[in-house]
Structure 1
Amino acid sequence: MFSVVQLHFLPRDDDLHDFCRRWQGRRRLLTGVKVVRRVTRERSARLFSLIDSLWPPVTPLRDHGNTPSVSAESSVEPAEEREAPPLYAPPARHTLRDILQGEHKTRPCSFVATVLYKRKMQSSDVGQGEVWLVLTDPSLQEEEEERRAERPCRRTVALCVSTSCALTSSVLESLDSPAAGRMSFRDVIVEHGVLLCVEQSVVGTCSSDPADPDGPEPPPLPVRLDPLSPEVTPNSVCSLSGVIVGVDEAAAFSWPACNRCGSDDLETSPDPRRTLRCVSCKSSVDKPETRIQLEVFLSSSLSNCTLKVKLQPRTITSVLNAAALEGHEALMMPTRGTCERRINS
């Protein structure tokens, strides 16, 4: 029988990794612990798959009944031992290719990967809600000739960080950053081909030092992506090429934003010049930046169908500049107080 126990609180969030390094694979004597809950295989298959990977059961486990709980503060002391317990198996690090091509059963895995994209499923801050990450590593970025020699494998993989996974402050800061970066993932659950970070998983950041033994080199840039196909699953990142055949006029508009803080919460100043004022940073906005939203219809080779795509700001600028150079006719775009030009479909 296994129990989840409550220990003392750590002074800082980032002490968790140091705490794990000092405890992992060690024998400890716990006194005065408080049993928060008892678990069985039927109630928590994910936890027991992790336990089996650390201590493979020699004989079937038996239920020995209930034991009394002690509500006093926890006390932990190192037990006397000269070597690591023989039954303990430290987590083995795998590549994403090994994980994707492995057995399709619930099991824990550990790896280092580059985070290409982050998507919050709710409007709350990172760490307060479910987050989807798109990952890759050198094993998924191999050349086509190397990939053909083995079973086909996609270039990226999605991972869900659930709200039950405890994240340190350094990890939260990294997930809040728009830049790609390497991160380590330990005891991630593979369930029905999906990667899940749950309460037993540990997420950490990796140093940018190329000599750092804690992780492989980041994949070469630009990162290779799989082309869009009917087999692409939700929350995936893929490449798409085609010809713009139309513009969704109902979704196309532009608006001014503060050139200092980037906020679009602007109001007209009461002064005679009628200049704009940023409500967020309380500053006057003489030369506001122009933000544009544009959704286009794209004709691609994907089963001869037309796709609707929402363009990123840099792509919109590139498309508008290309249209201006080619001398395309332009129309007025709906705006919030300003007018901009857009491509005529």
Structure 2
Amino acid sequence: MFSEVQFQNYGLPEEGLEQYSKKWEGKCCCLLGMKVLQRTTRGRSPGLFSLIDSLWPPLIPLKVHGQSQDSQEIDGRVPAPSFCYILGACPDEKSVEMVEEPEPQVLDLYLPPVVHSLKTILQNVGSACRCSFNAQVIFKRLQVENGARCGTAVFSLYVTDPVLQNAAHHVPRVLQVVVTSSCILGADVVDAVRNALPCVIFFRDAVKETDKIICVERTVLSLQWSQQYSIDGVDFTQMTGPVKLDELDSTTNLNTLCTVKGTVVGVDEDAAFSWPECNRCGNGKLVESPGDTGLLYCRHCHQPVTEPVTKMELEVFLQCPWTQHPVKVKLHQETIASLLMSSNRDEGGYELECVLGKEVGPLSCYVRSLATHPSHKIGLDEIRLS
């Protein structure tokens, strides 16, 4: 029988989830003062039972309840339990007591996480099944995504590992991991994702879908990536060079990363514009300086801007070798500057036609739109990988 114990106000911010996991996981404990909150089933709690299924069957042989230890063991193919008790614990550490000398068969009930490479998960783990892995996060993107399984997505992480980077073309080199608001991640993980990419994260008990992995309720993200239970021997010290992405082609999916190269055959003039930014703080909403000095003024710095930085937005159409339909790419600032560097500029700015016929790429891109009917349209955003 499985039970889930819920702790309220247990001081996790002070001591941390990692310390509690090391203290209790795989140990024999006596739970005191438990209160039965709910008896739930697969239909009511599919996420909980996907986790239970990943722990089934136990390592010790199954026996018929109520019969002696010498009775015939049940076939190991017996289905996992169909119900689970949700227990509530008192907000007191004394409600959990370690058993110093447990019976050996009790310890055999513990099934440690199996940490696979991303390639193994893609090829061998079934859809809607739980999986654990270490991965290097190379890019993040905020998004909101509604669905029965996903809930509300906070952001997407794009991850890889040395095995994927060196794999053949039948598996992607980078995988999307959707992080929802219901999973467990500490402030250190959030800070690393915001400010320290690339970084290696341990994803425990995530759910594999057809073309991505989802971090849902009871999924845990940690910076202390695990080699203890890794069976594929992934060594992240091998990832010393630039990350390789798959080239854009007819098999590329929406919301993935890819590289693209081609010839500029058109410019979206309606989407092209430029604006000045403060060279001190990057504020892009400058106003005219008071006193009719002809200068711009930054309300963030509270100072005139004597040397504003010109920022530009430019979307071009690329003709790529693999398709007859142009691919639309929203270019990064550095690429725009490189394209316009050799072009003539007058008082009105650049002539957009000056970029026609120029070769660009390979560019690292995010696939933001993908349509084949009624017309073939692909929209990419150029990105910068750390």
Shared fold per TM-score greater than 0.5: yes
- DSSP-derived class of the 1:244 partner: strand
Indicate the residue corresponding to 1:336 in structure 2. Answer: none
Alignment map for 1:218-297 (pairs within 5 Å)? 219-297=239-317
Deviations 1:118-167 (A, max 9, x none): 11015xxxxx952111111100111xxx637xxx2111111100110122
Residue identity matched to 1:27: C
Structure 1 length normalisation: TM-score? 0.81
Cα RMSD (Å) of the superposition? Answer: 3.1
User: Whole-Å Cα distance in 2 between the matches of residues 134 and 254 of structure 1?
Assistant: 30
Partner residue of 2:185 out of 154, 158, 167: 167
- DSSP-derived class of the 2:237 partner: coil
Flag the 1:42–1:137 CA change in 2: closer, same or farther, 3 A: same
Tell me whether 1:141 sits opposite 2:141 in the alignment. Answer: no
- DSSP-derived class of the 1:12 partner: helix
Flag the 1:29–1:312 CA change in 2: closer, same or farther, 3 A: same
Flag the 1:109–1:241 CA change in 2: closer, same or farther, 3 A: same
Contact between 1:263 and 1:280, CA under 8 Å: does it hold in 2?
Answer: yes
Residue identity matched to 1:172: V
Contact between 1:252 and 1:293, CA under 8 Å: does it hold in 2?
Answer: yes
Flag the 1:170–1:158 CA change in 2: closer, same or farther, 3 A: same
Indicate the residue corresponding to 1:16 in structure 2. Answer: 17
Flag the 1:178–1:316 CA change in 2: closer, same or farther, 3 A: farther
Flag the 1:224–1:277 CA change in 2: closer, same or farther, 3 A: same
Partner residue of 1:201 out of 219, 227, 230: 219
Tell me whether 1:47 sits opposite 2:48 in the alignment. Answer: yes
Alignment map for 1:80-229 (pairs within 5 Å)? 80-81=100-101, 85-122=107-144, 130-142=154-166, 147=168, 152-177=170-195, 179-205=197-223, 216-217=236-237, 219-229=239-249
Indicate the residue corresponding to 1:314 in structure 2. Answer: 334
Larger mean CA deviation between 171-180 and 153-162 belongs to 171-180
Indicate the residue corresponding to 1:335 in structure 2. Answer: none
User: Whole-Å Cα distance in 1 between the matches of residues 236 and 37 of structure 2?
Assistant: 38
Contact between 1:116 and 1:180, CA under 8 Å: does it hold in 2?
Answer: yes
Number of residue pairs aligned between Structure 1 and Structure 2? 318
1:111 CA drift (Å): 1.2
Flag the 1:12–1:305 CA change in 2: closer, same or farther, 3 A: same
Structure 2 length normalisation: TM-score? 0.73
1:30 CA drift (Å): 2.4
- DSSP-derived class of the 1:25 partner: coil
What is the aligned-residue identity percentage? 35
Contact between 2:158 and 2:176, CA under 8 Å: does it hold in 1?
Answer: yes
Contact between 1:111 and 1:184, CA under 8 Å: does it hold in 2?
Answer: yes
User: Whole-Å Cα distance in 2 between the matches of residues 169 and 70 of structure 1?
Assistant: 25
Contact between 2:314 and 2:330, CA under 8 Å: does it hold in 1?
Answer: yes
User: Whole-Å Cα distance in 2 between the matches of residues 65 and 204 of structure 1?
Assistant: 27
Larger mean CA deviation between 105-114 and 156-165 belongs to 105-114
Deviations 1:239-269 (A, max 9, x none): 1111001111000000011112212122222
1:72 CA drift (Å): 5.3
- DSSP-derived class of the 1:316 partner: helix
User: Whole-Å Cα distance in 2 between the matches of residues 318 and 230 of structure 1?
Assistant: 28
User: Whole-Å Cα distance in 2 between the matches of residues 315 and 65 of structure 1?
Assistant: 56
Residue identity matched to 1:104: G
